[in-house]
Structure 1
Amino acid sequence: MKNLGKIGVLAVLLFAMAAWRHGNSVKAAGGPAQVEGGPYRALDPIASGNLLLFPVVRSDSKSLTEAPFITLDEGLKNGEVEVTEAGRAQGLVRPRNGRGPLPAYPYRGDQVNTLVLVNHSRRPLLLLAGEVVTGGKQDRIVAKDRIVPADADPIDLSVFCIEPGRWTGSSDSFGASAGSAAKSFMVQPGVRERAMVDQDQQQVWNSVHGAIAQMEVAAAPPVPGTPAEGFGRGAALPLGTTSYAKVMESPEVSKKVDEATSQVMSAREQALAKLREEHAVGVVVAVRGEIVWADLFANTDLLSRYWTKLIRSYAAESLTDEGSHATPTVADAQRFLEAPSTGTENSAGEVGIYRYRELKSDGAETFVLESLLPGTDYDVHISKMRLRGEERYGAKAHPVYPPGIFHPEVYRPEIQR
């Protein structure tokens, strides 16, 4: 009996150790937590300019019929979501459930990498890394995917600045990336990569600087004797701003993005109808023949709601001078989806709300947002990227600022508009 008791105690200890290893935030990738590849299947591509878009469906042909989320753009436009500088959060504090006011949100001063967000909606809010909010003292992007519960208290929102050079309030609150849904955008994959992988403001600034420089070249009119399309025209069109959002909204760059997406967006409703018919949940993206990115969602509805801003972000990425590669095939897209993660997995999140996982491997990284809200427990969004490094953007490094200090005068503030 004593031996049986010892065996039982040993079994409990072994089970506890196994559970601890399973819950550890850093673990070897490649086990049951892997989600990329196997569950998904790439379809024949849609071509538009220098873009090749491979729709992705679930291999089991299943797609959630409904995802209960409100998006950032939807919430900002209908007033159900508010975003403000960290030092101006007092107006967001409100009474709840008849219990009187919440304690005052502590004033900590405005901060480059933190905003305050409140979700007034009765639906949980879905935030994706790279989504743009404009206004405040600087335009920012969401730093990582996350879920904010319905009717939640104010939260600190991690962000990165994409407007070096301005630190004055243009408005008290933040709005969506564009006034019209047809012109909405996220930052392009190259900038998203730096935010998600490096998680470093300096690297984000570098990538923004390089992306703007490339777009200024792409937007320039042809020089006589040089190609009407592409690069090598020997000139750039100064756009007079260091704001990524203002560059994307400028008539010159917006026109180029429209041209790059014309074959997809001119028949947007037909394209979305086709995606719904195929139950597509995502897309693998090739730029000038190089597969660089994949965005996968829980269902077709979420893909449709993000379609325009995703496509315009991919188009901005195509305004580069990286040359061309051999046209990828469906098999190439499938291999990209199925490429295993052989490195480590880092996870973070909030208990009962969401889990955010980063799967590292040589040459690629995968980020998975899983909803833990009641009645969900599924992957809401997956980003997979081929790592290419900041040298792709020809980025000239910005000055490195000491922690907590911002020097807008370094950035020719006289050109801000």
Structure 2
Amino acid sequence: MITLGNDVTINPNIELLSPQTHKNITVIPLKTERTYIDILTLKKGLELGLVKVSECPQSQVNTLVVTNASVTPLILIDGEEIVGGDQNRIVNSTVVIDARSKMKISVSCTEKNRWAYKSEFKQSDYMANHRTRVAKEYASRDSEHFQNVIWSSIDRLEHENSFSSPTAAMEESYENLKINHNKIIKEFDIVKDQNGIIVIIDGKIEGFEVFLSSEIYKEFHEKILKSYLIDAEINENQYPVNIDAAQDALDNAYDSSFTEKETKGLEKAYTFENQDGLGTLYAYNDKIIHWSYFKKMEEIIKDEIIENTALESDI
């Protein structure tokens, strides 16, 4: 049982399913009780022509306009990338946009060397890499302005992969490693009713992700795996899977102190932190719609992020 703000409680009833291991990567599929909420994803909304993402009338790096013409609410997921427009962006936090409405959303640029119209926005095959999401999680708690943190993380991603995109586009770093990633991802199957995942690298729990439904999870399964793989050093070592440690990570997350933060959509958002990690839980109609958790980073890296955030200007 999770206690949120104003004595609100949510029981996620998360079940750990059989682990899957390939090389030094292990994933544990997660399953919760089936939840029925009629909600549209960005992918389906764009495919059906019911959702449009556009630049503001006067383009702004950190803001986009989303129009939801559907009769159901629309969900956008923290870290998912939208490509096109004047430059590629990632969604800064999970948001639920009401039916038949238009809303400005907070985003961060993932292509700092382009500011010119390319095409209509579409959903990317990728989301922010794991380390960028962790950096954003830390930085967003200290400032509303953390664009430099995102750019710095993408620069580091290019450097570590000995790759340079002409526009410093995160998407191109993924494309550069696409073949290797696709081979590994085939080793991890989506199992029946799975709507979450724990990712373990070198025997250490790096994070977990839980979604409202298995249908939404399926859209993000490969993206989540790729977000961890692109930052990982893949090797042939295999480590014993400690199910008890994985359960402890979930239990400790349940027992964390949750703090409600301001939101602009229909969702409620709660940040949390414990001795091992931190993250954000998003709820809608008293149900968990998205819950992300990341292992804490080295303190020196955290300090660098905070220092970079302090230098951030209002772009």
Q: TM-score, normalised by structure 1?
A: 0.65
| 2:76 maps to 1:127 | yes
The AA in structure 2 aligned to 1:131 is E
Match in the other structure for 2:34:
63
| 2:311 maps to 1:403 | no
Change (3 A) 1:156 1:187: same
Match in the other structure for 2:244:
331
SS in 1 for 2:104: strand
CA displacement at 1:196 relative to structure 2: 3.0
CA distance in 2, matches of 1:342, 1:381: 16
Match in the other structure for 2:128:
187
Match in the other structure for 1:366:
279
CA distance in 2, matches of 1:249, 1:398: 28
The AA in structure 2 aligned to 1:205 is W
| 2:209 maps to 1:295 | yes
Change (3 A) 1:42 1:157: same
CA displacement at 1:315 relative to structure 2: 2.4
CA displacement at 1:299 relative to structure 2: 2.7
Change (3 A) 1:350 1:110: closer
Judge conservation of contact 1:49–1:260 (CA < 8 Å) in 2. Answer: no
CA distance in 2, matches of 1:398, 1:197: 10
Change (3 A) 1:211 1:35: farther
Mapping 1:32-181, distance limit 5 Å: 33=9, 39-58=13-32, 62-64=33-35, 66-87=36-57, 109-152=58-101, 154-171=102-119, 173-177=120-124
Match in the other structure for 1:386:
295
CA displacement at 1:207 relative to structure 2: 1.4
Match in the other structure for 2:148:
202
Q: CA RMSD in A?
A: 3.0
Work out the number of aligned pairs and report it: 302
Judge conservation of contact 1:56–1:281 (CA < 8 Å) in 2. Answer: yes
CA displacement at 1:49 relative to structure 2: 4.2
Change (3 A) 1:127 1:135: same
The AA in structure 1 aligned to 2:187 is Q
1:181-221 Cα deviation digits (max 9, x unpaired):
xxx2212221112223312112111211112222x2xxxxx
The AA in structure 2 aligned to 1:73 is K
The AA in structure 2 aligned to 1:51 is I
Judge conservation of contact 2:129–2:231 (CA < 8 Å) in 1. Answer: yes
Judge conservation of contact 1:289–1:324 (CA < 8 Å) in 2. Answer: no
Judge conservation of contact 2:114–2:167 (CA < 8 Å) in 1. Answer: no
CA distance in 2, matches of 1:302, 1:73: 10
Aligned with residue 242 of structure 1, among 168, 188, 192: 168
Judge conservation of contact 1:188–1:317 (CA < 8 Å) in 2. Answer: yes
CA distance in 1, matches of 2:245, 2:29: 13
The AA in structure 2 aligned to 1:349 is T
Unaligned runs of 5+ in 1: 1-20, 24-30, 88-108, 178-183, 217-235, 265-270, 405-417
SS in 2 for 1:67: coil
Judge conservation of contact 2:23–2:234 (CA < 8 Å) in 1. Answer: no
CA distance in 2, matches of 1:368, 1:151: 25
SS in 2 for 1:132: strand
CA displacement at 1:238 relative to structure 2: 4.3
Judge conservation of contact 2:84–2:118 (CA < 8 Å) in 1. Answer: yes
How many percent identity over aligned positions? 21
CA distance in 2, matches of 1:354, 1:330: 32
CA distance in 2, matches of 1:205, 1:320: 25
Judge conservation of contact 1:44–1:330 (CA < 8 Å) in 2. Answer: no
SS in 2 for 1:176: strand
CA displacement at 1:343 relative to structure 2: 4.7
1:12-58 Cα deviation digits (max 9, x unpaired):
xxxxxxxxx954xxxxxxx764767xx32323211234421101123
CA displacement at 1:151 relative to structure 2: 1.5
CA displacement at 1:79 relative to structure 2: 2.0
Judge conservation of contact 1:86–1:111 (CA < 8 Å) in 2. Answer: yes
Judge conservation of contact 1:297–1:381 (CA < 8 Å) in 2. Answer: yes
Q: TM-score, normalised by structure 2?
A: 0.84
CA distance in 2, matches of 1:22, 1:298: 20
CA distance in 1, matches of 2:289, 2:170: 27
CA distance in 1, matches of 2:154, 2:198: 23
SS in 2 for 1:349: coil
CA distance in 1, matches of 2:132, 2:47: 25
CA displacement at 1:77 relative to structure 2: 2.9
CA distance in 2, matches of 1:163, 1:371: 31
The AA in structure 1 aligned to 2:151 is W
The AA in structure 1 aligned to 2:183 is E
CA displacement at 1:282 relative to structure 2: 1.0
Aligned with residue 227 of structure 2, among 295, 302, 313: 313
Larger radius of gyration: 1
SS in 2 for 1:362: coil
The AA in structure 2 aligned to 1:368 is L
1:74-95 Cα deviation digits (max 9, x unpaired):
22233211111112xxxxxxxx
Mapping 1:257-272, distance limit 5 Å: 257-264=181-188, 271-272=189-190
CA distance in 1, matches of 2:240, 2:184: 17
SS in 2 for 1:86: strand
Structure with more of its chain in helix, by fraction: 1
